[in-house]
Chain A
Amino acid sequence: MLKSPSLDAAVISLQDVNVTLSSLAGAVDILKSITLDVHEGESLSITGPSGSGKTTLLMVMAGLERITSGVIRVCDAELTTLNEDQLALLRGQNIGIVFQSFHLVPTMTALENVMLPLEFLDRKDSLEQAREALAKVQLSHRHDHFPAQLSGGERQRVALARAIVPKPKLLLADEPTGNLDGATGQQIIDLMFDLHGSQGSTLVLITHDTKLASLCQRQIQIEDGRFQDMAPLEPVDEVGL
């Protein structure tokens, strides 16, 4: 059973955010006057064509991209005031990220990959927590396997376990099924939404897949760095998962 999102507590708050990147060809405006609140427990999808700025928006939320102007708060922290290491710690404690290409460390086993964020937080229970997280993604039997010994779906499940293991307030996913076949992709989606529901974290999902986007409580479409349309916030129970 999913919790209803709290409308009062904004886990992510963007106000008039602009991102302009410089390149050899000149400055490029990637995000233009973005204002958005994402509330605790909410699931939000961001869709849009290639180059529309959706990935940049995700990176801004993760503190991986500095904004050019505006205000951004994530998990009660004003990101523009934090330095690189403070941002890294913020991510370690509060944000889990799932990538399209998994990005597991090839020289580490599945268990070690999952332990990593907890180890960076100097958590003494990292081993137990990582085992538990792998159990949640049904990979208890694959602890000691290296990424190269796992299938694509298994790798993404390990990546998912790694993202949720610190029990983050915010789960960011960038095309999590982009490199997977249909059936495997569906398994990952089911798992991700289950975990989002059971842990009560906020989920922000970047996808091209409108069907996947429709699973979220709220959908945003972005084009040329601006929001095109915002669906109203609906009770999660009515989403029909």
Chain B
Amino acid sequence: MRQQARQPFSGLHIGSYLLSWKIALRELRGGLRGFYVFVACIALGVAAIAAVGSLTRSLNDSIANQGQVLLGGDVALSRVHQRASPEERQELKTFGATSEIATLRSMARLTDRSAQTLIEIKAVDQIYPLYGALRTDQNITLPLPVMTALVDTILLQRLGLKPGDQVRIGTGIVTLLGTLQNEPDRLSSRNVFGPRVLMSLATLDALGLIQPGSLIRWRYRIQFKDQNANLTGMTSRIENEFRSKGFLVRNRSNPASGVSQGISRLGKFLVLVGLTALLIGGVGVANSVHAFVAQKRSIIATFKCVGGTNRMIFQIYFAQVLIIALIGIAVGLFLGGVLPVLLLSFYASALPFDLVLTPQISELVAASLYGLLVAILFMLWPLMRTRDISAQNLFRDDVSGEAASITLFDLLSLFAVGLVLAVFTVLSAELPWVAFYFCAGLSALFLLFIAYGYGLKKLASYLPRYRTPSFMLARANLAGPNSLIRTIVLSLGLGLSLLVALGLIDASLRAQLESGLPQKAPDYFFIDIKQDQLESFRDKIQASAPQAKLNIAPMLRGRIVSLNGIPTEQIDAPNEAKWVLRGDRGITYDDTKPPGANLTEGAWWDENHQGDNLVSFEASSGKALGLKIGDTVSVNILGRDITAKIANFRTVKWESFAINFVMIFSPNALAGAPFNMLATLKLGENTPLSQEGQFVQNIAQGFPNITTIRVRDALEAVSGIYESILFAIRMAGSIMLIAGTLVLAGALATAHRKRIYDAAIFKTLGATRYRIVSSHMLEYGTLACATALLAIAMGSVTAWAIVTFVLDLPFHFSLAISIQTVIFTCVLVILLGAFGTWRTLSMKTASALIKH
């Protein structure tokens, strides 16, 4: 008895999901063939995000875990200019053992004064270090004997010295006992401009460098008596006690807040770049799934013939592609886990602390989620097309072709996945508003690139039909149904745009630093000129370099403690002005408006002004902090709070490297405060290097306490840090380009499978190999140039916006970078294309025709 046929309208139930997974697994027996690019695209993006996330988290965890060692104590206090008084030191000791350290910049000179270099002195007491251990090459132990020092190897190299030799520092001669391998607390007192020289406080005392007003930072590290004491509570007590005395207080929970924040921010930025690489890889995912669905047309049609519904078929292929995506994610997580270990094996010794790599589950989960969401976002559209595959395919070639049917549900599904991805990105970002703009900008760029690709394809179809066969063939490929335009523009466009933008930002910065600076900026800074040395210093300069332009200003360091009576720790300053309130700022006073200063609001005070203390505030920071004329600013200088009214706002060109201060006080405000002078010197045009050296030596001989900083050297030191960051960003940008290349390689491989048949027909009709090759090269060249032009345009606009509005510098367009981009893109596209063309031509015509 035949089973009664069911009503054909019965719906699907939950078992259909299990069935679709069962059938999907059967179908996957065919292996991953055709999915290598898919897996690679997802794996690359996930690996980049997982590696960056794990590394940054491990770096910050390591810093936090080694807080005591890196900070040098449980709590650290620091104050510029003024050493803690015996009473203050006594009070500190009530919290635990207290170590005293002084850091300052000075000059080390050969004993015959023939050469000198800038150094960063660190003078320590008998109990340093409280935590961790100092490592030296010669196994020298602390405390050091008086008039001896340990130095960075680089100092020996610069001055041509060896351990045991002597140098002049200040007014004394110091014997260099050996070289430093590692200071445990290096991270909390970084030496940017010169090599480290470690000595005892007794030695520093003997060098004559400790003078009233000298730029010395006094640091006090406390080792709690009770190691289980409440850290927050103890820190608050110390802060309440010492903050008003001008001390900055930090504790071991955040030993290097700037460094940790920098690492986090750079990490989060690199995660966004990794996400972009993943999104570019998404184009490869879409291409792979599209090709996969096309390849499965007859099976899908068969399913439909034997009763498979559209929904069931969608589920079957969704499950299959999801399994492939999970494989890609697994590969990515593995690579993302291995990469930091590899990096650590090369660079661990360069880190100023021990990096402990631990599995960062949250980062790996985040990377997996990114991979999954991007894979779903890009596989949905081609999988929705299974609905349009007709079962008629089994009987005949479709007469009308399969038009893509788009339903509101399709669009809502795509939008929903995109939205979840965007929300996840924004919520997991360090700066959510940056991530929001990133998502919005990237979506806009994707749409723009799609529109550009569409427009180019349309344009190609309008090209005149010249009689040149190569041109005709190239035009047909560009404008035809399997055109590569959109894929190439999308896959390479974003990565190239980023690299062009980075290149142009770099070029603008370099143009400013290298060519723009020497014209206006001083050549030397001199710090710690004592007031009684001023006249003789002027005379010496006049005698040594009569053409030189000398600019001198009093200089103190002080920290803003309140604005309009509100303590700074209660002020939520915008990001662009946070630096003004954080730490010490250089402070000066002047009777008259400095030449070149431009007042935007208010007026300068009269000469010999008496009465209220007045201050001139830098305009953009002042506005960002919401200050206005008449508001009060309290600054702690040398342990004393000085309050002044804002008399005017003035613009400062920081990049001029002239004597620039956020705050210039009226002279009455700082009357009686001990201070030294700061000087800038601009040598005459084309001063030879030998003369410059001689001049510096003359100064050194007369004024051993004065520190000379060559602007060019300082810039090189800063640009070293900048180069490292740029390198990290370039590396991340390269990942985008690798993702793009993978996508492109996949798309070309698919295209060439179709072109083998075309080429066979062309050859049958009499086309020579040259003809086919030249048509392909013409096509790829056009595609590459079109993509490069878009990348140059987008990269230039991005770079211009960043240079003009963020860096506030003049934008320099670089033709060289543009030409490099065009050449690079052409070489990449043509090389990848040529590989496919070679395969096309090497296929035997007869077998290609038969196979088809």
In the bound complex, what is the Cα–Cα distance between A84 and B312 (angstroms)?
12
Q: Which of A150-183 contact B (CB under 8 A)?
A: 162, 166-167, 169, 174
- Interface 1/0 per residue, B25-50 and A, CB below 8 Å: 01111100000000000000000000
Q: A58 touches which one: B27, B303, B395, B399 (CB < 8 A)?
A: B395
Q: Are A84 and B310 in contact (CB under 8 A)?
A: yes
Looking across the interface, which residue of chain A has its beta carbon closest to that of B395?
Answer: A55
Chain A residues near B305 (CB-CB < 8 A): 62, 64, 91, 97, 103
| Interface presence of B461 (CB below 8 A) | no
Q: B26 touches which one: A21, A107, A120 (CB < 8 A)?
A: A107
Known interface pairs A58-B395, A59-B395, A64-B392; A85-B309 also in contact (CB < 8 Å): yes
Distance in Å: Cβ of B825 to nearest Cβ of chain A: 36
| Interface presence of B6 (CB below 8 A) | yes
Q: Are A64 and B19 in contact (CB under 8 A)?
A: no
| Interface presence of B228 (CB below 8 A) | no
In the bound complex, what is the Cα–Cα distance between A101 and B400 (angstroms)?
22
Distance in Å: Cβ of A161 to nearest Cβ of chain B: 12
| Interface presence of B190 (CB below 8 A) | no
- What total of A-B pairs shows CB separation below 8 Å? 119
Chain B residues near A94 (CB-CB < 8 A): 5, 8
In the bound complex, what is the Cα–Cα distance between A80 and B306 (angstroms)?
19
- Interface 1/0 per residue, A102-142 and B, CB below 8 Å: 01111110001000110111100000000000000000000
Chain B residues near A91 (CB-CB < 8 A): 304-307
| Interface presence of B396 (CB below 8 A) | yes
| Interface presence of B483 (CB below 8 A) | no
In the bound complex, what is the Cα–Cα distance between A162 and B396 (angstroms)?
21
Q: Are B2 and A105 in contact (CB under 8 A)?
A: no
Distance in Å: Cβ of A82 to nearest Cβ of chain B: 7
| Interface presence of A92 (CB below 8 A) | yes
| Interface presence of A75 (CB below 8 A) | yes
Q: Which of B395-430 contact A (CB under 8 A)?
A: 395-396, 399-400
| Interface presence of A7 (CB below 8 A) | no
Q: Are B27 and A116 in contact (CB under 8 A)?
A: no
Q: Are A22 and B30 in contact (CB under 8 A)?
A: no
Chain A residues near B690 (CB-CB < 8 A): none
Distance in Å: Cβ of B852 to nearest Cβ of chain A: 16
| Interface presence of B206 (CB below 8 A) | no
Known interface pairs A65-B392, A77-B8; A107-B30 also in contact (CB < 8 Å): yes
In the bound complex, what is the Cα–Cα distance between A55 and B398 (angstroms)?
13
Q: Are B394 and A101 in contact (CB under 8 A)?
A: yes
In the bound complex, what is the Cα–Cα distance between A71 and B307 (angstroms)?
23
In the bound complex, what is the Cα–Cα distance between A121 and B13 (angstroms)?
11
In the bound complex, what is the Cα–Cα distance between A92 and B301 (angstroms)?
13
Chain B interface residue count, CB cutoff 8 Å, equals: 41
Chain B residues near A120 (CB-CB < 8 A): 19, 303, 306-309, 312
- Interface 1/0 per residue, B1-34 and A, CB below 8 Å: 0110110111001011001001100111110000
| Interface presence of B202 (CB below 8 A) | no
- Interface 1/0 per residue, B369-395 and A, CB below 8 Å: 000000000000000000100111011
Chain B residues near A104 (CB-CB < 8 A): 302
| Interface presence of A227 (CB below 8 A) | no
Q: Which of A81-97 contact B (CB under 8 A)?
A: 82, 84-94, 97
In the bound complex, what is the Cα–Cα distance between A154 and B655 (angstroms)?
83
Chain A residues near B308 (CB-CB < 8 A): 88, 92, 116, 120
In the bound complex, what is the Cα–Cα distance between A105 and B305 (angstroms)?
12
Q: Are B3 and A89 in contact (CB under 8 A)?
A: no
Q: B27 touches which one: A22, A59, A105, A174 (CB < 8 A)?
A: A105
Known interface pairs A94-B5, A167-B3, A199-B2; A88-B400 also in contact (CB < 8 Å): no
Q: Are A88 and B28 in contact (CB under 8 A)?
A: no
In the bound complex, what is the Cα–Cα distance between A54 and B303 (angstroms)?
22
Q: B392 touches which one: A59, A112, A121 (CB < 8 A)?
A: A59
Q: Are B395 and A82 in contact (CB under 8 A)?
A: no
Q: B307 touches which one: A65, A93, A105, A174 (CB < 8 A)?
A: A93
Known interface pairs A86-B8, A90-B8, A93-B8; A64-B391 also in contact (CB < 8 Å): yes
B binding-site residues for A, Cβ under 8 Å = 2-3, 5-6, 8-10, 13, 15-16, 19, 22-23, 26-30, 298-299, 301-312, 387, 390-392, 394-396, 399-400
- 4 A-B pairs closest in CB distance: A92-B307, A90-B8, A85-B309, A117-B306
Q: Given A22-B399, A89-B307, 16 other A-B contacts at CB below 8 A? A: A59-B392, A62-B391, A64-B390, A84-B387, A89-B309, A91-B304, A92-B308, A97-B306, A107-B26, A108-B29, A116-B306, A117-B307, A120-B308, A121-B6, A122-B15, A122-B19
